Amino acid sequence: MPPSSPPDGGTDVAPRRRRIVPLLCIAAVVLAADLATKLAAVAELEHREPVRLFGGALYLVHARNTGAAFSLGEGYTIVLSLFAVGVAVYILRAARRLRSLGWTVGLGLVLGGAVGNLIDRVFRAPGFLRGGVVDFLSLFDDGGRVWPIFNVADACLVTGVCLLVLLVFRGIQPDGTQAGAAAERKADDDQQR
């Protein structure tokens, strides 16, 4: 039986091939971009007025966030840090079963973003697992009043989660199969017998 295209639109001739290497590559690119932009933000923006770009659609501004997305849960930094560790461990364990390109990209974005922000929580002040995450992108105003100030890791986390939600709604499983497709094949096999 010739190999078929995976349901997520990939052209992989071996749909059962594992995708851990691409997942790790995506996570590494996200992590490198996040760390580089945070280092630049601290070096260039920490003691400076916000930089206005694109007619005020984007501002570069230095901020620290000890909470989760949108500065929620600022009193729970240690819990958030441990949650990020759990997410990273779960993704690495789940990666052994990945065969869907879409899930690989989504989980790679989430992994890279989670680790990027976790590094800030571990190594930045005020201390281990309590550090403030460096944020520096503000949309439509210079103080995060229209949209909360964020960073590359946050953007990748949100994009990855949105992609994963879309895949779930489309019924695409991490192993590349369509939800319900396995049950339908079994029922067809049973009918042919």
**Cα 73 to Cα 68: distance, rounded to the nearest angstrom:** 6
User: Can 135 be counted among the known catalytic residues?
Assistant: yes
Cα separation, 129 vs 180, in Å, equals 42
154 is catalytic: yes
Question: In the structure encoding, which two tokens stand for residue 170, read together?
Answer: 């489309």
Q: What is the pLDDT of residue 107?
A: 98
Per-residue model confidence as pLDDT tens digits over 12-57: 434 445 789 999 999 999 999 999 999 999 999 999 999 999 999 9
192: Cβ–Cβ under 8 A, 6 or more apart, which residues?
none
Q: Convert the pLDDT of each residue in 135-193 to its tens digit.
A: 999 999 999 999 999 999 999 999 999 999 999 999 999 998 998 765 566 566 667 76
| Contact by Cβ (8 Å): 61, 142 | yes
Q: Which residue among 8, 34, 120, 154 is the active-site one? A: 154
Predicted TM-score (pTM) above 0.75 = yes
Indicate which residue of 8, 12, 135, 188 is catalytic. 135
Residue 10 to residue 100: CA distance in whole angstroms: 8
CA dist 35 and 7 (Å) reads 34
pLDDT tens digits for range 44-93:
999 999 999 999 999 999 999 887 766 666 778 888 899 999 999 999 99
Structure token digits, residue 104: 């690989």
Q: Residue 152's closest CA among 171, 126, 127, 133?
A: 133
